[in-house]
């Protein structure tokens, strides 16, 4: 019995170093096979950044875009490819480095990516519009933004252009006459219409529409768009909070203008949404301090 035990112990004694060596070999293989593809790492980091962005963890998302950008650059040094340049460009767009993104997309196009040429042109035009705006050449920049909002194919550029256009129109409303105000608001609706119909799942367009409808005092419609914006997700925490405030604003306005029956029906819908979002009460989202 003792001999058998010793033999077993001896076997086990030689088993652990072997197992350890095996695990070490596998680990080294995995580490090196991982290192061989910076592109893979760049993709993983980019996906992570996108997920964090959706969860309003913007600062962490930025650090993952930066990591992904570094990996894409590493891959380009080792083995330039259209995919690596494309990924570099996407990271640069998310980091607001428009000029660099244009260059990356051009290089991706030169290596055979069909989409990249269009993206490069649109990113370049957006960068130009931004610099025209900085130089107070408002009409020229508005023309470029309009063209990108209407005909653009690259979603981040279209979204940014739509946002700049709406901003510029809403800024004028405070001092506009009632007729001018109506005209400006109709122009805003027209600007959002097309990108929204093509990208119904982008929460930011619903947010913009909710804001414009709020200006038009169409509070029920504005509320519904703001709800959709919340459900689909918004790009930053500040915008998300502002959207919550829009929901509350619509709630208060509707309380004053709906008939008791309409109010009863609206109120029940409203309460089911705020229950879903775990608000503390009708006018207190989870981030807000009770008055």
Partner 1 sequence: MEENKLVTFLQQSVKILQYFLPLDSLSFFPILYASLIWAFDRQFNFQAKVLELEVWLEPDILKSKSNEFILDFFNSNERLKAAYAKELAENNMMSLRLDFEVLYPVIGLQDPFLEKLFSRELEQGNYRGLVNDFDFRLNQALSEIMVAGSQPQFWNELGKIGQEFLSLGWDLLNKADVRAEIKKTLEQLKK
Give residues in contact with partner 1 (CB under 8 A). 56-60, 62-63, 163, 166-167, 170-171, 173-174, 208, 211, 214-215, 217, 237-239, 241-242, 245-246, 249, 252-253, 280, 283-284, 286-291
In the three-class reduction of DSSP (H, G, I as helix; E, B as strand; rest coil), residue 284 is classed as strand
In the three-class reduction of DSSP (H, G, I as helix; E, B as strand; rest coil), residue 285 is classed as coil
Looking at the Cβ atoms of 80 and 233, the one nearer to partner 1 is 233
Other Cβ atoms within 10 Å of 4 Cβ, number: 8
Looking at the Cβ atoms of 75 and 244, the one nearer to partner 1 is 244
Looking at the Cβ atoms of 152 and 235, the one nearer to partner 1 is 235
Looking at the Cβ atoms of 120 and 148, the one nearer to partner 1 is 148
What's the token pair of residue 54?
């959706």
Tell me how many degrees the CA angle 157-197-53 measures, rounded to the nearest 5: 45
Q: How far is the CB of 115 from partner 1 (least distance, A)?
A: 27
Q: How far is the CB of 57 from partner 1 (least distance, A)?
A: 6
Q: How far is the CB of 219 from partner 1 (least distance, A)?
A: 9
Q: How far is the CB of 290 from partner 1 (least distance, A)?
A: 6
Looking at the Cβ atoms of 86 and 210, the one nearer to partner 1 is 210
Shortest CA distance to 110 belongs to which of 74, 70, 87, 81? 81
What HEC string does 76-144 produce?
HHHCCCHHHHHHHHHHHHHCCCHHHHHHHHHHHHHCCCHHHHHHHHHHHHHHHHHHHHHCCCHHHHHHH
Looking at the Cβ atoms of 50 and 58, the one nearer to partner 1 is 58
131-138 contact pairs (CB < 8 A, 24+) = 133/164, 138/168
Q: Judge residue 176's burial from the number of C-beta atoms within 10 Å of its C-beta, 0-12 exposed, 13-18 middle, 19 or more buried.
A: middle
CA torsion, ordered 111, 113, 117, 122, to nearest 10 deg: -130
Q: How far is the CB of 208 from partner 1 (least distance, A)?
A: 7
What's the token pair of residue 26?
């596998």
Q: How far is the CB of 232 from partner 1 (least distance, A)?
A: 17
Phi first, then psi: give them for residue 258, nearest 5 degrees.
-85, 155
Looking at the Cβ atoms of 7 and 217, the one nearer to partner 1 is 217
Looking at the Cβ atoms of 82 and 211, the one nearer to partner 1 is 211
Q: How far is the CB of 141 from partner 1 (least distance, A)?
A: 14
Q: How far is the CB of 167 from partner 1 (least distance, A)?
A: 4
């Amino acid at each position: 019995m003792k001999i058998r035990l010793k033999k077993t112990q001896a076997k086990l004694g030689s088993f652990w170093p072997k197992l350890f060596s095996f695990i070490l070999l596998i680990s080294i293989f995995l580490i090196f096979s991982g290192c061989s593809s910076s592109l893979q790492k760049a993709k993983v980091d980019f996906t992570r950044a996108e997920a964090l962005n959706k969860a309003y963890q913007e600062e962490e998302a930025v650090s993952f875009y930066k990591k992904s950008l570094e990996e894409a650059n590493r891959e380009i040094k080792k083995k330039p490819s259209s995919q690596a340049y494309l990924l570099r460009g996407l990271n640069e767009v998310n980091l607001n480095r428009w000029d660099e993104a244009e260059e990356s997309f051009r290089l991706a196009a030169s290596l055979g990516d069909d989409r990249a040429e269009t993206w490069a042109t649109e990113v370049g035009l957006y960068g130009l519009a931004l610099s025209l705006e900085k130089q107070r050449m408002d009409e020229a920049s508005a023309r470029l933004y309009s063209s990108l909002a209407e005909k653009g194919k690259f979603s981040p550029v279209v979204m940014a252009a739509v946002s700049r256009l709406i901003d510029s129109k809403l800024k004028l409303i405070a001092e506009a006459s009632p007729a001018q105000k109506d005209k400006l608001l109709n122009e805003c609706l027209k600007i959002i219409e097309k990108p929204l119909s093509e990208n119904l799942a982008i929460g930011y367009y619903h947010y913009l529409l909710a804001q414009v409808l709020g200006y038009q005092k169409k509070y029920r419609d504005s509320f519904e768009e703001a709800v959709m914006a919340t459900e689909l997700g918004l790009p930053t925490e500040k915008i998300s909070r502002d959207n919550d405030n829009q929901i509350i604003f619509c709630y208060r306005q509707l309380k004053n203008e709906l008939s008791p029956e309409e109010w009863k029906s609206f109120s029940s819908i409203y309460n089911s949404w705020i229950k879903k979002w775990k608000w503390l009460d009708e006018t207190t989202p989870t981030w807000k301090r009770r008055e």
